[in-house]
Structure 1
Amino acid sequence: MKGTTLQAHARSRAAELPGANLEHPFGPEWEVYKVRSKVFMLLTEVTGEPIVILKAAPADGEALRSAHEDITAGYHMNKRHWVTLSPGGSIDKGLVGDLVTESYLLVVENLPRAERPVDPDTFGRVDCGTVR
Protein backbone atom coordinates (compact mmCIF):
# COMPACT_ATOMS: atom_id res chain seq x y z
CA MET A 1 0.00 0.00 0.00
CA LYS A 2 1.31 3.43 -0.87
CA GLY A 3 2.01 5.84 1.98
CA THR A 4 -0.62 8.39 1.07
CA THR A 5 -3.19 5.60 0.73
CA LEU A 6 -2.07 4.11 4.07
CA GLN A 7 -2.59 7.42 5.82
CA ALA A 8 -5.86 8.09 3.98
CA HIS A 9 -7.32 4.77 5.19
CA ALA A 10 -6.17 5.48 8.74
CA ARG A 11 -7.68 9.00 8.65
CA SER A 12 -10.93 7.69 7.23
CA ARG A 13 -11.31 5.06 9.95
CA ALA A 14 -10.41 7.53 12.72
CA ALA A 15 -13.08 9.94 11.42
CA GLU A 16 -15.71 7.23 12.00
CA LEU A 17 -14.81 6.68 15.65
CA PRO A 18 -17.01 8.39 18.26
CA GLY A 19 -15.23 11.16 20.15
CA ALA A 20 -12.08 11.05 18.00
CA ASN A 21 -10.47 14.44 17.36
CA LEU A 22 -7.59 15.62 15.19
CA GLU A 23 -5.05 18.00 16.71
CA HIS A 24 -1.64 19.39 15.73
CA PRO A 25 0.15 19.89 19.09
CA PHE A 26 3.60 19.21 17.60
CA GLY A 27 3.20 21.40 14.52
CA PRO A 28 1.65 20.90 11.09
CA GLU A 29 3.90 17.93 10.20
CA TRP A 30 2.23 15.76 12.89
CA GLU A 31 -1.46 14.77 12.83
CA VAL A 32 -2.40 13.58 16.31
CA TYR A 33 -5.70 11.77 16.83
CA LYS A 34 -7.09 11.69 20.35
CA VAL A 35 -10.11 10.41 22.18
CA ARG A 36 -10.91 12.42 25.32
CA SER A 37 -7.44 14.05 25.20
CA LYS A 38 -5.59 10.71 25.01
CA VAL A 39 -3.55 9.89 21.88
CA PHE A 40 -4.42 6.78 19.90
CA MET A 41 -2.88 7.57 16.47
CA LEU A 42 -0.20 9.78 14.94
CA LEU A 43 0.48 10.43 11.24
CA THR A 44 3.62 12.08 9.90
CA GLU A 45 6.13 12.15 7.08
CA VAL A 46 9.10 13.36 9.16
CA THR A 47 10.83 10.02 8.52
CA GLY A 48 10.84 10.69 4.77
CA GLU A 49 7.79 8.53 4.08
CA PRO A 50 4.16 8.70 5.24
CA ILE A 51 3.76 6.57 8.38
CA VAL A 52 0.99 5.75 10.85
CA ILE A 53 1.80 5.18 14.53
CA LEU A 54 -0.73 3.24 16.63
CA LYS A 55 -1.11 1.87 20.14
CA ALA A 56 -0.99 -1.94 20.38
CA ALA A 57 -1.07 -4.50 23.17
CA PRO A 58 2.52 -5.73 23.66
CA ALA A 59 1.80 -9.31 22.51
CA ASP A 60 -0.18 -8.08 19.50
CA GLY A 61 2.57 -5.63 18.55
CA GLU A 62 5.17 -8.37 18.67
CA ALA A 63 3.02 -10.67 16.52
CA LEU A 64 2.33 -7.90 14.00
CA ARG A 65 6.03 -7.05 13.70
CA SER A 66 6.83 -10.73 13.12
CA ALA A 67 4.13 -11.17 10.49
CA HIS A 68 4.54 -7.91 8.54
CA GLU A 69 7.79 -6.37 7.38
CA ASP A 70 6.01 -3.01 7.07
CA ILE A 71 5.11 -2.94 10.78
CA THR A 72 7.88 -1.91 13.16
CA ALA A 73 8.22 -0.60 16.71
CA GLY A 74 6.56 2.76 17.37
CA TYR A 75 8.54 5.70 16.00
CA HIS A 76 9.47 7.99 18.93
CA MET A 77 7.05 6.08 21.18
CA ASN A 78 7.23 3.28 23.75
CA LYS A 79 8.44 0.35 21.65
CA ARG A 80 6.36 -2.22 23.58
CA HIS A 81 3.05 -0.38 23.35
CA TRP A 82 3.15 1.31 19.92
CA VAL A 83 3.72 0.16 16.33
CA THR A 84 4.54 2.02 13.13
CA LEU A 85 2.88 1.15 9.82
CA SER A 86 5.01 1.99 6.78
CA PRO A 87 4.13 1.93 3.09
CA GLY A 88 4.74 -1.38 1.40
CA GLY A 89 3.00 -4.50 0.27
CA SER A 90 2.24 -6.40 3.47
CA ILE A 91 -0.52 -4.16 4.88
CA ASP A 92 -4.03 -3.94 3.40
CA LYS A 93 -6.94 -1.56 3.98
CA GLY A 94 -8.76 -3.98 6.29
CA LEU A 95 -5.74 -4.41 8.53
CA VAL A 96 -5.24 -0.64 8.75
CA GLY A 97 -8.87 -0.15 9.82
CA ASP A 98 -8.67 -2.95 12.37
CA LEU A 99 -5.44 -1.60 13.87
CA VAL A 100 -6.81 1.96 14.11
CA THR A 101 -9.94 0.63 15.84
CA GLU A 102 -7.92 -1.53 18.22
CA SER A 103 -5.66 1.41 19.12
CA TYR A 104 -8.73 3.56 19.82
CA LEU A 105 -10.30 0.85 22.00
CA LEU A 106 -7.07 0.36 23.98
CA VAL A 107 -7.23 4.03 24.91
CA VAL A 108 -10.99 4.07 25.56
CA GLU A 109 -10.83 1.09 27.93
CA ASN A 110 -8.41 3.02 30.15
CA LEU A 111 -10.66 6.07 30.38
CA PRO A 112 -12.98 6.52 33.38
CA ARG A 113 -16.33 4.90 32.52
CA ALA A 114 -18.14 8.24 32.54
CA GLU A 115 -15.76 9.59 29.85
CA ARG A 116 -15.93 6.63 27.47
CA PRO A 117 -17.66 7.53 24.19
CA VAL A 118 -18.32 3.81 23.58
CA ASP A 119 -18.24 0.57 25.56
CA PRO A 120 -14.89 -0.99 24.56
CA ASP A 121 -16.24 -4.49 25.24
CA THR A 122 -19.09 -4.21 22.73
CA PHE A 123 -18.14 -1.46 20.24
CA GLY A 124 -18.06 -2.83 16.70
CA ARG A 125 -19.12 -6.30 17.72
CA VAL A 126 -21.98 -7.91 15.79
CA ASP A 127 -24.55 -9.89 17.76
CA CYS A 128 -24.74 -13.30 16.12
CA GLY A 129 -27.84 -14.35 18.05
CA THR A 130 -31.07 -15.38 16.41
CA VAL A 131 -33.17 -12.74 14.70
CA ARG A 132 -36.67 -12.40 16.10
Structure 2
Amino acid sequence: MRAAELRSFCLGFNGSAEEFPFGDVVSVFKVAGKIFALSWLEESPLRVNLKCEPEYALRLRADHPAIVPGYHMNKRHWNTVTVGELPARLVRELVEDSYDLVVAGLPRAVRLSLDRP
Protein backbone atom coordinates (compact mmCIF):
# COMPACT_ATOMS: atom_id res chain seq x y z
CA MET A 1 0.00 0.00 0.00
CA ARG A 2 1.31 3.42 -0.96
CA ALA A 3 0.67 6.81 0.65
CA ALA A 4 -1.99 7.83 -1.89
CA GLU A 5 -3.85 4.54 -1.32
CA LEU A 6 -3.70 4.95 2.46
CA ARG A 7 -4.97 8.53 2.22
CA SER A 8 -7.79 7.53 -0.14
CA PHE A 9 -8.78 4.61 2.07
CA CYS A 10 -8.91 6.79 5.21
CA LEU A 11 -10.98 9.43 3.43
CA GLY A 12 -13.39 6.79 2.13
CA PHE A 13 -15.08 6.32 5.51
CA ASN A 14 -18.33 8.15 6.25
CA GLY A 15 -17.67 11.54 7.80
CA SER A 16 -13.89 11.30 7.58
CA ALA A 17 -11.75 14.38 7.02
CA GLU A 18 -8.05 15.13 6.70
CA GLU A 19 -6.44 17.92 8.71
CA PHE A 20 -2.90 19.17 9.28
CA PRO A 21 -2.77 20.46 12.89
CA PHE A 22 0.91 19.51 13.27
CA GLY A 23 2.17 21.17 10.09
CA ASP A 24 2.33 19.97 6.52
CA VAL A 25 4.10 16.69 7.25
CA VAL A 26 1.51 14.84 9.34
CA SER A 27 -1.91 14.00 7.91
CA VAL A 28 -4.49 13.58 10.65
CA PHE A 29 -7.64 11.69 9.71
CA LYS A 30 -10.67 12.38 11.87
CA VAL A 31 -14.30 11.43 12.15
CA ALA A 32 -16.62 13.83 14.00
CA GLY A 33 -13.53 15.70 15.23
CA LYS A 34 -11.89 12.58 16.73
CA ILE A 35 -8.62 11.17 15.41
CA PHE A 36 -8.62 7.65 14.00
CA ALA A 37 -5.33 7.78 12.03
CA LEU A 38 -2.18 9.89 11.78
CA SER A 39 0.33 9.40 9.01
CA TRP A 40 3.60 10.81 7.78
CA LEU A 41 2.57 10.40 4.14
CA GLU A 42 5.78 11.85 2.69
CA GLU A 43 8.17 9.72 4.75
CA SER A 44 9.72 6.45 3.76
CA PRO A 45 8.93 3.96 5.08
CA LEU A 46 5.27 4.89 5.26
CA ARG A 47 3.94 4.77 8.84
CA VAL A 48 0.51 5.32 10.34
CA ASN A 49 -0.71 5.55 13.94
CA LEU A 50 -3.95 3.65 14.52
CA LYS A 51 -6.20 3.16 17.51
CA CYS A 52 -6.55 -0.42 18.72
CA GLU A 53 -8.12 -2.45 21.53
CA PRO A 54 -5.37 -2.83 24.18
CA GLU A 55 -5.25 -6.65 24.24
CA TYR A 56 -5.33 -6.90 20.45
CA ALA A 57 -2.60 -4.24 20.24
CA LEU A 58 -0.31 -6.41 22.37
CA ARG A 59 -0.97 -9.49 20.21
CA LEU A 60 -0.30 -7.53 17.02
CA ARG A 61 2.98 -6.18 18.40
CA ALA A 62 4.07 -9.69 19.40
CA ASP A 63 3.20 -11.14 15.98
CA HIS A 64 4.44 -8.33 13.72
CA PRO A 65 7.75 -6.46 14.17
CA ALA A 66 6.30 -3.73 11.90
CA ILE A 67 3.73 -2.87 14.59
CA VAL A 68 5.03 -1.01 17.64
CA PRO A 69 3.51 1.13 20.42
CA GLY A 70 2.09 4.39 19.07
CA TYR A 71 4.66 7.12 18.47
CA HIS A 72 3.73 10.19 20.56
CA MET A 73 0.41 8.53 21.48
CA ASN A 74 -1.06 6.59 24.39
CA LYS A 75 0.90 3.33 24.03
CA ARG A 76 -1.95 1.27 25.47
CA HIS A 77 -4.49 2.30 22.82
CA TRP A 78 -2.40 3.22 19.76
CA ASN A 79 -0.01 1.38 17.45
CA THR A 80 2.43 2.72 14.88
CA VAL A 81 2.26 0.54 11.79
CA THR A 82 5.01 0.46 9.15
CA VAL A 83 2.74 0.00 6.16
CA GLY A 84 5.07 -1.50 3.54
CA GLU A 85 6.14 -4.32 5.83
CA LEU A 86 2.62 -5.74 6.19
CA PRO A 87 0.08 -7.12 3.74
CA ALA A 88 -2.23 -4.37 2.42
CA ARG A 89 -5.25 -6.39 3.56
CA LEU A 90 -4.04 -6.31 7.19
CA VAL A 91 -3.34 -2.56 7.00
CA ARG A 92 -6.85 -1.93 5.66
CA GLU A 93 -8.34 -4.05 8.48
CA LEU A 94 -6.36 -2.12 11.10
CA VAL A 95 -7.43 1.25 9.67
CA GLU A 96 -11.06 0.13 9.60
CA ASP A 97 -10.81 -1.19 13.18
CA SER A 98 -9.39 2.16 14.29
CA TYR A 99 -12.22 4.06 12.58
CA ASP A 100 -14.82 1.71 14.09
CA LEU A 101 -13.38 2.12 17.61
CA VAL A 102 -13.57 5.90 17.35
CA VAL A 103 -17.10 5.82 15.93
CA ALA A 104 -18.21 3.46 18.70
CA GLY A 105 -17.15 6.08 21.26
CA LEU A 106 -19.19 8.86 19.67
CA PRO A 107 -22.62 9.91 20.93
CA ARG A 108 -25.46 7.83 19.48
CA ALA A 109 -26.89 10.70 17.44
CA VAL A 110 -23.52 11.28 15.78
CA ARG A 111 -23.09 7.56 15.06
CA LEU A 112 -26.53 7.47 13.47
CA SER A 113 -25.76 10.50 11.35
CA LEU A 114 -22.74 8.59 10.02
CA ASP A 115 -25.03 5.69 9.13
CA ARG A 116 -22.94 3.35 11.32
CA PRO A 117 -24.98 2.26 14.36
2:106 is matched with which residue?
111
SS of alignment partner, residue 18 of structure 1: coil
Q: Distance in 2 between matches of 1:46 and 1:72?
A: 20
Asked if structure 1 preserves the Cα contact closer than 8 Å seen for 2:26 and 2:39, the reply is yes
Which has a greater percent of helix?
Answer: 2
The two structures, once aligned, show a CA RMSD in angstroms of: 1.9
Please list every run of at least 4 consecutive aligned residues from structure 1 whose deviation after the TM superposition is greater than 2 angstroms.
7-10, 45-50
The higher radius of gyration belongs to 1
Quick one: percent identity of the two aligned structures? 43
1:25 is matched with which residue?
21
Query: What are the residue-to-residue correspondences of 1:79-118 with 2, within 5 Å?
Result: 79-89=75-85, 91-116=86-111, 117-118=114-115
TM-score with structure 2 setting the length: 0.88
Name the aligned partner's letter for residue 108 of structure 2: R
TM-score with structure 1 setting the length: 0.79
Query: What are the residue-to-residue correspondences of 1:53-92 with 2, within 5 Å?
Result: 53-89=49-85, 91-92=86-87
Deviation at 1:50, TM superposition (A): 2.6
Q: How many residues align?
A: 115
- Deviation string, structure 1 residues 3-43 (Cα, Å, up to 9, x no partner): xx2x3342222121000000001110110000000000000
Name the aligned partner's letter for residue 111 of structure 1: L
